Amino acid sequence: MGNHNRTRPEYENVPQPIRKDGAGFVDLGPRDIMRDMQNPDMLVPPPTDTGGIPNLKFSFSDTPMTLKHGGWSRQVTTRELPISTTLAGVNMALTPGGVRELHWHKESEWAYMIWGSARITAVDQDGRNFIADVGPGDLWFFPPGLLHSIQGLDEGCEFLLVFDNGSFSDLDTFSISDYFAHTPKDVLSANFGVPKSTFSHIPKNQVYIFQGKIPGPLASQQVPDPYGTVPKSYTHRLHAQEPSVYPGGTVRVVDSTNFPISTTTAAALVEVKPGAMREIHWHPTDEWQYYLTGTARMTVFAANSQARTFDYRAGDVGYVPHPYGHYIQNTGDTSLWFLAVFKSSRYADVSLNQSLALTPHELVQENLNVDSEFIAALRKEKVQVVKYPGFSYYPKTSKSDS
């Protein structure tokens, strides 16, 4: 890091904005050293980073918590991450018995259970109900306008909700308590055929999350439904799905082909092993990422000589506009796990390796002025990509000197 650090001996082991070639200078503060250590590619961007790509990262840790008796919630929307126009995320936890009250949305709701278990309920537009228990790695999906609820079971739970509108706010949904509180009691009386006094103690405002009793066994909660069961399940057991296995990791893709009700949201649960990376690729739709474990590095290329590198860790949200090229590299010593979510009925990506392997090699060589070793690697790739379209993983790649 050059001799600049000698200006202040106590900063000898503190990361500084100085490249190995000597570019830059010491930052003696004030500064957040821990933050700089978590974001080495912002402190010392790779020399290949140029241009004005906007921020593509926001941590749930930087969002305010809404705390209720029964649980908590926090969200990342366009208000926190302006580039994220297609999708928004809500992180929520419920105590044992805690209830996310009966409500519905203008948007569809896609969810991933992080830990614990919950009971979900829903009623569709044809009067058919759905009641199920979900555990770690399970998904649920509710189309817009369906009345539904979520309740924590024995140990409570934490989950991620993704909505197909970046401007979504979980505090601006249609809640049953809010609806009753703002409907004249004589109208409620006439609607349900009961005395007005029945509604003397209803909540005066939206309760949002409240503490309830842990519900009994699933069988005891079933409500007879004369209209039958819903034609498509609202849940999917993603962790039970057999993963596709690659040299550097695994992936489980879920979209309308294997979770038919999920018509507006597709996703991939990706594992990248230590020393490996998710190959360079891009998508036809924007990608919303949620990092579950580990640490990662991603450079995003936006054309016109624009590129920017970001560092991610558990609890961070990443966003890649389409069709920006990018990779995801595991920078830690444990497996990196993340969710890649898309506003689409089908998952799709374009592999750079595959695309070049299936292009006339002489054209590639002339275009990039590369040597025969690169072309030989493409010939090998041309065989591999038939087996592994779009999800190739490669062994350890060293970070270039910066």
pLDDT digits (tens, 9 = 90+) for 114-149: 999 999 999 999 999 999 999 999 999 999 999 999
Residue 298 has pLDDT above 60, yes or no: yes
Please check whether residue 131 is in contact with residue 102, taking contact to mean a CB–CB distance below 8 angstroms.
no
Residue 79 has pLDDT above 80, yes or no: yes
Regarding whether 218 and 329 lie in a shared domain, the answer is no
Residue 138 lies in a domain: yes
Residue 336 has pLDDT above 90, yes or no: yes
Residue 334 has pLDDT above 70, yes or no: yes
Residue 188 lies in a domain: no
Please check whether residue 325 is in contact with residue 270, taking contact to mean a CB–CB distance below 8 angstroms.
no
Regarding whether 222 and 363 lie in a shared domain, the answer is no
pLDDT of 32-66, one tens digit each?
Answer: 999 999 999 999 999 999 999 999 999 999 999 99
pLDDT of the residue at 341? 98
Regarding whether 290 and 218 lie in a shared domain, the answer is no
Using CA atoms in the order 345, 270, 296, 294, what is the torsion angle rounded to 10 degrees? 130
Residue 366 lies in a domain: yes
Buried residues in 383-393 as b, exposed as e (16+ CB within 10 A): eebeebebbbb
pLDDT of 193-204, one tens digit each?
Answer: 999 999 999 999
* Average pLDDT estimate for 231-244: 96
Regarding whether 260 and 377 lie in a shared domain, the answer is yes
Backbone phi and psi for residue 155, each to the nearest 5 degrees, phi listed first: -100, 5
Regarding whether 365 and 260 lie in a shared domain, the answer is yes
What distance in Å separates the CA atoms of residue 330 and residue 343, rounded to the nearest whole number? 25
pLDDT of the residue at 93? 98
Regarding whether 232 and 106 lie in a shared domain, the answer is yes
Confidence of residue 391 (pLDDT cuts 50, 70, 90): very low
Confidence of residue 377 (pLDDT cuts 50, 70, 90): confident
How many domains is the chain partitioned into structurally?
Answer: 2
Residue 393 has pLDDT above 50, yes or no: no
3-state secondary structure of 36: helix
Residue 2 has pLDDT above 50, yes or no: no
Regarding whether 334 and 387 lie in a shared domain, the answer is yes
Domain coverage including residue 114: 58-171+208-236
Residue 395 has pLDDT above 50, yes or no: no
* Average pLDDT estimate for 274-303: 96
Tell me the average pLDDT of the chain. 91
- Out of 38-42, 68-72, 225-229, 388-392, least confident range: 388-392
